[in-house]
Chains A and B, each alone.
Chain A
């Protein structure tokens, strides 16, 4: 019995830690979705770019990947601003046969980024062997006679805590600052925001930048616990997409909950069904969300008067 409880709790811990990181990836996409009404399918590739920045800072200058957040996130912000200004905005203005051609453009941007990375850095797998990679906290260290043993990886917990801190900072920015309120106004009703004197074009540029910065930060947090190669983007774009749908398009609160749900769900499938089933679980939850909860977690929050 104790063994089963330990298994369940350990899986739950793994799921929550993974979910926190997933949420950070998802929020960036959701934010862009809310304001610009497009899915940014280059999301995972932008994360890959940030990971390469952190990797080279570690390899050449021995800067810890966690500190690289302060370099990679601003760098990704400016990359996002540039992409939005010079590539996406012009396409938004053009009348076209396909109304979704901005989405197709983001797919193209993603491919270009992945291939540039292959050309410049080769498709070799890289990693940052940090000293604390295998350190962990144990329940028995704190409570000698604990009937079960649980462990909490230091690198994973650190990544998780930083992800939570970034999320709180983002919440503060969106709800308390002028610019944050303008972004939310643009997301809720573009015309009304325009009439109220919000610089909508500026908000779009800034939002895209923030979305990219968030996923850039997520990349730095993933690096110490994972590894890196140019084709890694697609996998994380998919995860972000599932979270965005699950959370309810455009809702940041929904994305946080969606990310944690996905993390826990994946870990549970891995433990109780088999690890090969984790990707299947991911899509089951995706399809189920589309069918049974089209508005995502956000619609539940709204009906309970919890969300904004």
Chain B
């Protein structure tokens, strides 16, 4: 970060004006791992954009505000940005709960807000005119996963475990609906409170029910605790599937170690995907921060490019001018195609394909849809007792 700052300072002299944005992100707290990835990615995008002349000849300068993953803090940060700093457009935040809080405020004050990662469905279902979302909603997170189910796994029953947060609950509810349509028999559906120590009782119940698929919607620490305890109990399902978030970041494999092997997860993006700029961004991130970024990073990285595109097209730098330009967005980013549509009950929502990743040899590999696959999926997966 300091290095990036130094580069930033030396470039200052070239630009006549600065374009300052503050971004609310969880930099501490339980979601800090995600905040960190996003912050790094915004940094990479800023550097690239400034190296190519900034936005409309102005140098982009980003500041980050720590929301600690708490909606109330997030909201007060957004209030400060709108009322004190008079920022004409807001983007950022990680979790659904925080994005929701900022979205409500943005609509109230009539300032456009670009949701970058918050996935709970109702953020763009409330007919908000000023709220745009670039990432697919929870209901679509699993669309790639479901086609994988249909064509490869062919499950007849499912167990769903989820954290009792906005993200967990909406992810689980959507999977219940999908299971009905599929059809899969819903054998167990259990929620747990964040901070639970021992999942073995509930997992024993899952084991007794014997589902084909165990689908879990969790943040990072719970995701690894769940997989570790599944291994301990030797629950042999056909597939262990995660609903993105905690299952899709490198920390999951670091914490769960060998228990993470073969687990699949829904994801919106992967470093191997064939969108223009995706690979370059992923490699750049890896050289700077040692790991490949998760989809959250690609979202943040692309968010700044969307802002560049929107602000360049905007007739005026007022909230309404920017909103109009935002509505007309139709572009390709490293994260995928971005276009804000009103359909299926959503307003200003971007729709796109989602992917499936599997942990193979301690690495996340894209396995589905096959046109994006970096490795052939491993299925059926070995039973626990046959693993070494």
Contacts and interface: CB of A to CB of B under 8 A. Distances in A.
Interface of A: 3-4, 6-7, 10-11, 14-15, 18, 118, 122-125, 127, 129, 131, 133-134, 136, 138, 140, 149, 151, 153, 222, 225-227, 229, 232, 235, 266-268, 270-271, 274-276, 278-279
A276 B163 CA distance: 9
A129 B232 contact: no
B191 A276 contact: yes
Interface of B: 28-30, 32-33, 68, 164, 190-193, 195-202, 204-205, 207-208, 220-221, 224-225, 228-229, 231-234, 254-259, 385
Contacts, number: 112
Nearest to A137: B232
Nearest to A235: B195
A153 B232 contact: yes
Contact of A10 (B190, B224, B233): B233
A275 B202 contact: yes
A63 B117 CA distance: 38
Given A6-B208, A153-B232, A276-B193, A122 B202 contact: no
Given A235-B195, A271-B204, A276 B257 contact: no
A276 B192 contact: yes
B255 A129 contact: yes
A134 B261 CA distance: 12
Nearest to B36: A124
A7 B210 CA distance: 12
A134 B259 contact: yes
A268 B257 contact: no
Given A122-B28, A140-B385, 10 more contacts: A4-B208, A10-B201, A11-B204, A15-B201, A123-B68, A124-B33, A133-B257, A267-B201, A275-B190, A278-B196
Interface SS of chain B: helix
Interface SS of chain A: helix
A124 B205 CA distance: 31
A217 B91 CA distance: 45
Contacts of A129: 254-255, 257
Contacts of A222: 197
B221 A227 contact: yes
A124 B221 contact: no
A272 B201 CA distance: 9
Contacts of B224: 127
Contacts of A118: 28
A11 B193 contact: no
A149 B234 contact: yes
A94 B34 CA distance: 49
A4 B204 CA distance: 10
Nearest to A11: B201
Contact of B233 (A133, A151, A267): A151
A267 B201 CA distance: 6
B155 to A, nearest CB: 20
Contact of B190 (A7, A153, A274, A279): A274
Nearest to B224: A127
A17 to B, nearest CB: 8
B195 to A, nearest CB: 6
